[in-house]
Chain A
Amino acid sequence: MDFPSVSLGPPIAKRLSRLDVQIEANRCLNCYDAPCTRACPTAIDVPRFIGRIATGDLAGSARTIMDANPVGASCARVCPTDQLCEGACVYNADENPIRIGDLQRFATDWAIRENAVLFTAGPPTGKRVAVIGSGPAGLAAARELARAGHAVTIFERDPAPGGLDTYGIVPFRLPAEIALWEAEQVRALGVEIRTGVAVGRDVEPATLLAEYDAVMIAIGMGAVPRLGIEGEDAAGVWDALDFIRVAKCGGDVGTLGERVAVIGGGNTAIDAATCSRRLALRQAQGDTSVTMYYRRGAERMTAYDFEIEFAQVEGVEFRTFVVPKRILVENGRVAGLELLATDPAGSARPLAGTECVVAADTVILAIGQQRHVALLDAFGVMHDVNGIATVDETMRTNVPRVYAAGDCTFQPGGIDAMVVEAAQRGKVAARNIDLLLRTEPR
């Protein structure tokens, strides 16, 4: 499908030069039971894909990556590699790990450029599986199910597939065309991707249960919750995900004004902040200041350190130990923020009588994401009080033949909600659905 190609300035990931690729690929030691592979949630055989780059077998390299990780091209750009593969590389003893992510990008870029056909569908089993959601978890599951020979239909609410990879991750980190290429790889295996179809609205859960041999729920998370404070409906107040989505799709976010206030301290807040900095630059509003307001100390921010550093480099300012009490509105538009200081011990409890006002023309809320509780309920899938679906280690829910994976299953404090983890759980779900369909014929 046509998707506007928006970059919003130079990409974060550096493209390795051909010389660097050769040096890096040859520097890899080809470790045995390699720690980098152990640290990759999808267990990409890192020394193998790097070795294949070194010998010029780029098809084999790309296949090694994409075999283990159906969204390996996106992951090459968005994975927090210093927490994962690169953080485990034996060269950390010299603080000089192999640039695994950049090499992965080199190999997958080759596959994209060459239009390489990496996988084929398995011999048809006659079984049908419905996958709800085409984010990393849904795509990974669909790809594996198709390779196992099952007929897969993906139901996707959005006009384009890819989930947050396509709509949610800022374009200078992950251009939409990468995620769309990955979706296309899955479609090419015979998977039907029905975009613009929301399950629960356009298709009933009962219909899916009746027409498919198994159902896989990979619906991610929902919108950013409301703060529940005065002034939230004013023009210039944004849900961070909507904001990034409009920007990434080339839409108009309107004038940002001189001061952008981002509420939150996670990766989404960082993305919204850097995105607004770059948008302001593009709107020739170079003097627009962007400030992140966070309710605890900087060390408690859930954003990765490298993300925070990146935001600092991009000129984002930080203000900690504050919560918004009220959004000030003038003529229907945001005019400022009334803040309360919080407990300096870090409990985030607001302290009465500490009100202060800062000017703001745009307010972006990035305080977490809601859950698609209604859809889980419609399937009868058990979930906790927060709306997080309950699954066992095979990704099975309490409902027979219904599985769930990805962000809609991740507990806070458990598995980090990230692309590579969602992809891995999608794979696990697919493997177990396949097992079910082969061993328990209906």
Chain B
Amino acid sequence: MADLSIDLGGIRSPNPFWLASAPPTNSGYQVMRAFAAGWGGAVWKTLALEPIVNVTSRFAGQNIGSYRMAGMNNIELITDRPLDENLREIAECKAAYPDRAIIVSLMTECTRESWHELVRRCETVPVDGFELNFGCPHGMSERGQGAAVGQDPELVELITRWVKEAAHVPVIVKLTPNITDIRYTARAAAKGGADAISLINTLNSLMGVDLDTWLPIPHVDGKSSHGGFCGPSVKPIALNMVGACAKDAQVGIPISGIGGIADWRDAVEFMLMGSTSVQVCTAVMHHGFRIVADMIDGLNNYLDARGIASVREIVGKTVPRFVDWNDLNLDYKVVARIDPESCIRCNKCYIACEDAAHQCIDRPADPRLAPVVDEEHCVGCNLCQMVCPVVDCIEMVRVDAGDTVHTWREKLPSVP
């Protein structure tokens, strides 16, 4: 059994799996169930001084083939329940599960007094930390809150500083991905004194249009507005942003990774890219709290199999290898190689390379034979391997001597 406990900027939890601030953390009833299932922490559904009013309907799913909810979009706002009620339930949860982390997500209007007041009210109950919701891309942003703050580095820094003035527990700043370069707001959070950042919140999105009624999806009495997109589909975007912050020296504070995490493998990837804890929303909305048992089990077995004593040891290990394009070795060369034994003759590799890559997969005249890669012309793009339905049927094999390194940067020293 590896040690799964973590410490994110002073917030400790028995494992790195936290519920993201979202419907699964709406109420004490839910958070109690989540803790009973094994979740290490919960970021409470965003609180404000006054509850807001939500609309119906609110969500829509992105289905790809038979896979439901590859992504989801929502136009829900923050908590629609009174602050005192939430605070009472937080206290109950903390009393029942003192070892778990309860982080309270906050959002309020852009004044120092308002933020101080919210922090003060929330600290009347035992909380382990705050997460500032600068990310909500819809609704609240039209009121100058959420992503409207998160898109402006100066406001991020300013509000973070206000909160830090008042707070006695660690402060996490949750970043919006709806921005050109997330490092700027991450740096601003660090400058404002944040103890950690969490990312990503949801991406601006419109899920769809109904083909029969021509109404946007989801709609509220015939109309819709843009919403926030999350779930497995956003993982690559989130991972890139986490990596970008992790390798940026001017950010330099711990990261809680969020976005499309559905199982232990996703979690490991986020940790290798620099996340100390990971937060989950969509996967729980899809399958319920019980998935955390599989996340813990998978992570444990993964670490044990490698003889890694603590999960903290893997945090950020891939970050040094996440570099600029200019530093990639232009001499490195792999080619595709097809295993005729496991090939099932679907010809997907052939047509992909023929129509969309480099025309270097040949089909023998006899259709019972497997396609063959013309290694001399293969550029090693991986496309054939990606489309092949058989796991490990196409292998990318290194063919350069492996003893030279040439990069674009040294070729063109003028490139910054």
A residues apposed to B, CB below 8 Å: 22-23, 26-27, 29-35, 38, 54, 90-91, 93
Contacts and interface: CB of A to CB of B under 8 A. Distances in A.
B347 interface: yes
A38 B347 contact: no
A27 B346 CA distance: 13
Given A35-B367, A38-B367, A29 B65 contact: no
Given A26-B65, A34-B346, 11 more contacts: A29-B348, A29-B389, A30-B348, A31-B346, A31-B347, A31-B348, A32-B346, A34-B347, A38-B367, A90-B346, A93-B344
Contact of B344 (A33, A38, A90): A90
Contacts of A38: 367
A54 to B, nearest CB: 7
Contacts of B347: 31-34
B346 A29 contact: yes
A30 B344 CA distance: 13
Given A32-B350, A32-B351, A38-B367, A90 B345 contact: yes
Q: How large is the interface on B (under 10, 10 to 19, 20 to 34, 35 or more residues)?
A: 10 to 19
Contacts of B66: 22-23, 26-27
Contacts of A31: 346-348
B357 to A, nearest CB: 14
A90 B348 CA distance: 11
A29 B140 CA distance: 43
Interface string B364-382: 0001000000000000000
A22 B67 CA distance: 10
A54 B347 CA distance: 21
A91 B344 contact: yes
A56 to B, nearest CB: 9
Contacts of A27: 66
A31 B347 CA distance: 6
A95 to B, nearest CB: 12
B367 A32 contact: no
A91 B348 CA distance: 14
B344 A32 contact: no
Nearest to B350: A32
B350 to A, nearest CB: 6
B42 to A, nearest CB: 35
A29 B363 CA distance: 18
Interface string B124-165: 000000000000000000000000000000000000000000
A354 B344 CA distance: 52
B6 to A, nearest CB: 39
A344 to B, nearest CB: 37
**For the complex of A and B, 5 pairs with smallest distance between CB atoms:** A32-B351, A26-B65, A32-B347, A90-B344, A31-B346
26 contacts: A22-B66, A23-B66, A26-B65, A26-B66, A29-B346, A29-B348, A31-B346, A31-B347, A32-B346, A32-B347, A32-B348, A32-B350, A32-B351, A33-B347, A33-B363, A34-B346, A34-B347, A35-B345, A35-B367, A54-B65, A90-B344, A90-B345, A90-B346, A90-B389, A91-B344, A93-B344
A182 B347 CA distance: 34
Nearest to B390: A93
A32 B367 CA distance: 11
A38 B351 CA distance: 16
A91 B351 CA distance: 19
Contacts of B367: 33, 35, 38
A149 to B, nearest CB: 35
B396 to A, nearest CB: 21
Contacts of B389: 29, 90
A81 B361 CA distance: 31
